[in-house]
Amino acid sequence: MSQSLDWNAALPARARPRATADPRWLRLGLIGAALVFLGLFLALPLAAVFVHALGAGLAGYAAAIVDPAARSAIWLTLIVAAISVPLNTLFGVAAAWTIARFDFPGRNLLVSLIDLPFAVSPVVAGLIFVLLFGMQGVLGPWLIEHDIRIIFALPGIVLATTFVTFPFVARELIPLMQEQGDEEELAAISLGASAWQTFRRVTLPNIRLGLLYGVVLVNARAMGEFGAVSVVSGHIRGRTNTMPLHVEILYNEYQTAAAFAVASLLAFLAIGTLVARSLLEWRLAKQSAHDGAEEG
């Protein structure tokens, strides 16, 4: 995730010389093995989601989605994403500006700390908020006294989701901004642009695609987070169930078709994320090719 977007950019343009080309049988064998593996592990499960979702027919599919508990889960998932995605995006831009544009003592430590949530199990991420805000938590008695609910309520779900998706935008932007360098921004400042003008007219257009991909990725993870949210939500149906938790409940109640119907909405979200990534990557490759042509 820490890599920039140009995974596909550098396809060798010239034909490979015969001495370093693999024999045909090896090439076909390796391609075949890789495709069988990807097919079994990735394509088959994705297809299975949609086939099982229609297990109770189109009417059953529709009924599972318009069910009040499902609708409230969808609504809650959208609310949580609408809060934590903008917060993490704002943070990502500020952190990337700090880390990619300035050198200061402790910069490497800051980068490591931003990565910290990646190393924490989602269940532990949920647990720390229970230990902080739960009934027996550090702030528990004070919260009860003031009648503030965080655990088993919306704030806890938002906090846990924000924690788990914390590093994504920053990790996407830092390498991108380091690669681009600060010449254009310095030029804008020396020509008399204000800080805000420089950011809006120079930085933002430059990081636009990477930022957009970071947002798409954070959004997918925020809507799909299961472990952390499961610990803090309390599974109150119709109140604190997000879509992944609703899928779990339906599945454990042996309502398989309904579980897969709701799961298929999340699978659509995943497919949308992959399509967005491919499009953005393609645009980015075109942009850098264009920039390269201008420079050359």
Partner 1 sequence: MRAMPGSRRRSALPGFGPALGFTLFYLSLIVLIPLAALGVKTASFGWDALWTTVTSPRVLASYRISFGTAFAAACTNAVLGLLVAWVLVRYRFPGRALADALVDLPFALPTAVAGITLTTLLAKNGWVGRYLEPLGIQVAFTPLGISVALVFIGLPFVVRSVQPVLEDLEVELEEAAAILGANRWQTFRRVLFPALTPAVLTGFALAFARGVGEYGSVVFISGNMPMKTEIAPLLIVTRLEQYDYAGATAIAVAMLVVSLLMLVAINGLQSWSRTRQRAV
Residue 218 binds partner 1 (CB under 8 A)? no
Residue 257 binds partner 1 (CB under 8 A)? no
Residue with tokens 């969808």: 74
What is the per-residue burial (b if ≥16 Cβ within 10 Å, else e) of 242-257?
Answer: bbbbbbbbbeeeebeb
Residue whose CB is less far from partner 1, 209 or 247: 247
Q: How many CA atoms lie within 13 A of 268 on its CB side?
A: 9
Among residues 82, 274, 286, 291, which is the contact residue for partner 1, using CB under 8 A?
274
Among residues 64, 143, 231, 258, which is the contact residue for partner 1, using CB under 8 A?
231
How many residues sit close enough to partner 1 to count as binding (CB under 8 A)?
117
Residue 273 binds partner 1 (CB under 8 A)? yes
Q: For partner 1, which stretch binds (CB under 8 A), given 16-24, 57-65, 204-212, 285-293?
A: 16-24
Residue 57 binds partner 1 (CB under 8 A)? no
Residue whose CB is less far from partner 1, 55 or 67: 55
Residue 209 binds partner 1 (CB under 8 A)? no
CB 155 within 8 A of CB 83: no
Residue 144 binds partner 1 (CB under 8 A)? no
Residue 61 binds partner 1 (CB under 8 A)? no
Q: For partner 1, which stretch binds (CB under 8 A), given 64-72, 141-149, 248-256, 287-295?
A: 248-256
Residue 82 binds partner 1 (CB under 8 A)? no
Identify the three-state secondary structure at position 296.
coil
Residue 104 binds partner 1 (CB under 8 A)? yes
Q: For partner 1, which stretch binds (CB under 8 A), given 67-75, 142-150, 271-279, 284-292?
A: 271-279
Q: How far apart are CA 187 and CA 184, in angstroms?
A: 5
Least distance in angstroms from the C-beta of 201 to partner 1: 14
Q: How many CB atoms lie within 10 A of CB 89?
A: 19
Q: How far apart are CA 238 and CA 210, in angstroms?
A: 36
Site for partner 1 in 150-189 (CB under 8 A): 159, 162-163, 166, 178-182, 185-186, 189
Residue 117 binds partner 1 (CB under 8 A)? yes
CB 55 within 8 A of CB 263: no
Q: How far apart are CA 3 and CA 166, in angstroms?
A: 17
Q: How far apart are CA 138 and CA 152, in angstroms?
A: 16
Residue 205 binds partner 1 (CB under 8 A)? no
Residue whose CB is less far from partner 1, 7 or 75: 7
Closest to 157 (Cα-Cα) out of 220, 216, 223, 70: 223
Least distance in angstroms from the C-beta of 282 to partner 1: 9
Tally helices (H) and strands (E) across the chain: 15, 0
Give residues with Cβ within 8 angstroms of 245, minimum separation 6. Answer: 73, 226, 229, 230, 233, 235
Q: Which amino acid is at 199?
A: F
Among residues 54, 67, 101, 201, which is the contact residue for partner 1, using CB under 8 A?
101
Residue whose CB is less far from partner 1, 70 or 248: 248
Least distance in angstroms from the C-beta of 146 to partner 1: 18
